[in-house]
């Protein structure tokens, strides 16, 4: 089985995220052999252990990034992880080939409903992927797939019924990602 690394980047995972917490729990249960990187626990001070994180990436075949969309991009903690770890000479540049060919899978949550990402004045779903596509292009990783769970706003924290509904939607989204990751891992074994 190919090695999987799951990196979750919600900065206040336990208190602030019904959907991300449910998705993460489901992912880790469905992919029990995956290495887990909970950035909020590892680096609450935003001081990333670059060598340790680079080693994890080198040893992985499939990298899953799981995060909420904050202002059309990943949260600051995950962005800091990318900025510190994906260095010229490691992940890109003339000597930087450590991530070439590795599969990248995304599981994102967005507070706005899906309708917000459709229509004439919308920020389109594909727009959310622009920074990721830049990372993929620079590192020569392969974007193997993504799932976005829409409409998981802060309102879910004040209503238990809504919270449970979005937790179930998050688990379903995580199942799709876990299935994709499993297919990728098995496909590479053949």
Q: What CATH number should be reported for the domain holding residue 52?
A: 3.40.50.360
Proportion of the chain above pLDDT 90, given as a percent: 66
Q: Return the minimum-mean-pLDDT range out of 28-42, 44-58, 115-129.
A: 115-129
Q: Is the pLDDT of residue 156 over 60?
A: no
Does the pLDDT of residue 188 top 60, yes or no? no
Q: Does position 190 have pLDDT exceeding 50, yes or no?
A: no
pLDDT tens-digit series, residues 98-134: 999 999 999 999 888 888 777 666 667 788 888 999 9
Handedness of CA 120, 115, 125, 80 (dihedral sign): positive
Local structure of 160: helix, strand or coil:
helix
| Pair 186, 4: CB distance under 8 Å | no
Residue range 162-174: average pLDDT?
89
**CA torsion, ordered 41, 46, 47, 50, to nearest 10 deg:** 80
Q: Mean pLDDT of all residues in the chain? A: 90
Tell me how many domains the chain contains: 1
What average pLDDT score do residues 1-29 get? 88
Tens digit of each residue's pLDDT (9 = 90 or more) over 54-99: 999 999 999 999 999 988 889 999 999 999 999 999 999 999 999 9
Containing domain of residue 94, as a range?
Answer: 4-189
Helix or strand (DSSP H, E) at 177: helix 160-189
Q: Measured between alpha carbons, how far is 92 from 76 in angstroms, rounded to an integer?
A: 21
């Amino acid at each position: 089985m190919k090695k999987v690394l799951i990196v979750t980047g919600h900065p206040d995972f336990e208190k602030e995220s019904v959907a991300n917490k449910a998705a993460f729990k489901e992912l880790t249960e469905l992919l029990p052999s995956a290495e887990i990187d909970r950035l909020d626990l590892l680096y609450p001070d935003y001081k990333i252990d670059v060598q340790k994180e680079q080693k994890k990436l080198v040893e992985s075949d499939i990298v899953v990034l799981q995060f909420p969309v904050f202002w059309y991009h990943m949260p600051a903690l995950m962005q800091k992880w990318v900025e510190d770890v994906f260095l010229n000479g490691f992940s890109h540049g003339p000597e930087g080939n450590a991530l070439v060919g590795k599969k990248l899978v995304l599981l994102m949550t967005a507070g706005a409903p899906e309708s917000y990402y459709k229509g004439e004045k919308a920020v389109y779903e594909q727009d959310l992927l622009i920074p990721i596509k830049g990372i993929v292009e620079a590192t020569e990783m392969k974007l193997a797939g993504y799932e976005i769970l829409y409409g998981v706003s802060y309102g879910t924290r004040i209503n238990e019924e809504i919270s449970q509904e979005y937790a179930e939607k998050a688990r379903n989204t995580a199942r799709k990602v876990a299935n994709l990751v499993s297919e990728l891992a098995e496909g590479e074994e053949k």
